[in-house]
Amino acid sequence: MKQSLEALENKTDILIIGSGAAGLTLALRSADFARVTVLSKGNLREGATYYAQGGIAAVLDEADSTESHVEDTLTAGVGLCHKDIVEYMVTRSAEAVSWLVDQGVPFTTKTATAQDASTEIAPETELSSLHLTQEGGHSHRRIIHATDATGKAVFETLQKRAEEHPNITLLESCTAVDLVTQMPENGSQPVCVGVYVLNQQSGRVEAIRAKFVALATGGASKAYLYTTNPDGASGDGIAMAWRAGCRVANMEFNQFHPTCLYHPHAKSFLITEALRGEGAKLELPDGSPFMANFDAREELAPRDIVARAIDYEMKRLGCDCVYLNITHQPAEFVKEHFPTIYKRCLEYGIDITRDRIPVVPAAHYTCGGVVINAQGETDITNLYAIGETSFSGLHGANRMASNSLLECFVVAFGAARSIFKKSSSTDFVDSIADWDESRVTDSDDEVLVSHNWDEIRRFMWDFVGIVRNSKRLNRADRRIKLLREEVRDYYIKHKVTNDNLELRNLALVSELIINCALQRKESRGLHFTLDYPDTLPIAEDTILSPVKAP
């Protein structure tokens, strides 16, 4: 049920920060044995899940195999995936899809039309009846989807289930400020006991006690000027976990989706990889295809290869975009399989059944994050991280398409089991200190926030983007250190707002990205540097620890 922060008691068994697929799944899997509160800093749907088009990677076809899915993931990850984690995720993919079907997610079936796909399918639907598509890096059709709006279908279904559950409270316009930890007597590891939360309606910061806290806040792609992500993707969970003492890993691997709609009025609209899975070709402005010059898999090469190829051709020709062409497919096929994209492009005067789609790469996914195990457990007791916020070892140096939603469900399942085992022996702390605002004032110069936000995103795009070199990275490092001092000074002196909290987090996460990138003296997957173009024979994660941070 939806509720206001004022109406909530100052404690809850499980506090989940983030209302996307990861957070709602954990809530639903835990609500039968605990009281759960889910925080969203905006509207519940304003996370990456709602806008995800592609689907969920799972082995359901007889011609496919878990071994093949594992191998494809390891190949895309360029040696950095943790094989045991990949196997753990992939072998549980069918279970995750089966649970989603039971919840009523209206996945497209082999016989469904676009109209059929908008209605719930019955729980007894056989998994073998689900329609499968193919995306980059996959050697088989194994993407379960709801036409081209899978994230919307998943989110709306899980939100409805959560709103109906008496043990789940959903709070909107609530921004987590910082985690609260304590060091227990005779303990060597801190324990998370709650969170400070900004109520955007009242402007007050409240302390909420919790037995368990889960970070499900998504990634940090808003660190870049051009992104497919919604505005809230400012790395909040990663920043909060780092400040509390958690390690982070592989932050240099920022995935740039190859195909974002290029149009002056189309903000952050993604063109799903599934178009290329159904035969769409990438073309230069003169109509000539070019992916064969870069990879034998052409349009179905992993995303890092496709994004770099587009970036190379745009810079070589000095053009603003390249084009995605699916006009060779029958018009009804295109409309049936991609109704969302067809409708949105038509709003901008582009009929994708007859016209090529102008596309550019854009920051899309944060492959690194808070270090966790398969159950989502972090370095801090009773603190969990799930989904894009986390680093499980699944994605390596380049996430393979549609493995991200799979990770959300599988890790949420594991986290719920872990919390259940601990729940009977875990209690609330007696109290948390009130938030102290006695020495701060209201801001009289909000332009500083917007200016610093814009500057960070621009130099991250220019200096820490698709193609990097040491000179650019060092320049970014100098700028982020100065900006973090400015942001820290501003934060200390003024009352917190959603904007300055996001800027604080964005500046910190940008510094973590830069530090990781400077440490990697090779090119691997999504991290491509002109000064170290070769891939080292031994693949190692880049792990940062707060106690060792500069």
> Catalytic residue positions?
303
- CB distance 482 to 454 below 8 Å: no
- 266: its two tokens: 């189309």
Residues 6+ apart with CB under 8 A from 44: 19, 159, 170, 172
Integer Rg of the chain from CA: 22
Q: Residue 284 to residues 297, 334, 424: CA-CA distances in angstroms?
A: 18, 22, 61
- CB distance 260 to 268 below 8 Å: yes
Determine the number of helices (DSSP H) and then strands (DSSP E) in the chain.
15, 18
First CA to last CA across the chain, in angstroms? 44
CA–CA separation, 325 and 357 (whole Å): 6
* Helix 83-91, helix 93-103: angle, nearest 10: 40
- CB distance 14 to 36 below 8 Å: yes
Residue whose structure tokens are 């279904």: 157
Sign of torsion, CA 234 237 242 248?
negative
Residues 6+ apart with CB under 8 A from 223: 234, 235, 254, 363, 456, 457, 460, 506, 509, 510, 513
CA–CA separation, 7 and 81 (whole Å): 44
Sign of torsion, CA 517 393 176 48?
positive
Extract the runs of DSSP E, i.e. beta strands, from 230-284: 248-249, 254-261, 281-283
DSSP letter string, 407-437: HHHHHHHHHHHHHHHHHTT----S--PPP--
CA–CA separation, 502 and 233 (whole Å): 9
- CB distance 258 to 324 below 8 Å: no
Q: Give kind and range of the element (H or E) at residue 347.
A: helix 339-347
Edge-to-edge strands of the sheet including 357-366? 254-261, 357-366, 322-325, 281-283
Q: Give kind and range of the element (H or E) at residue 336.
A: helix 331-337
- 144: its two tokens: 């379960």
- 161: its two tokens: 């289930």
- CB distance 401 to 303 below 8 Å: yes
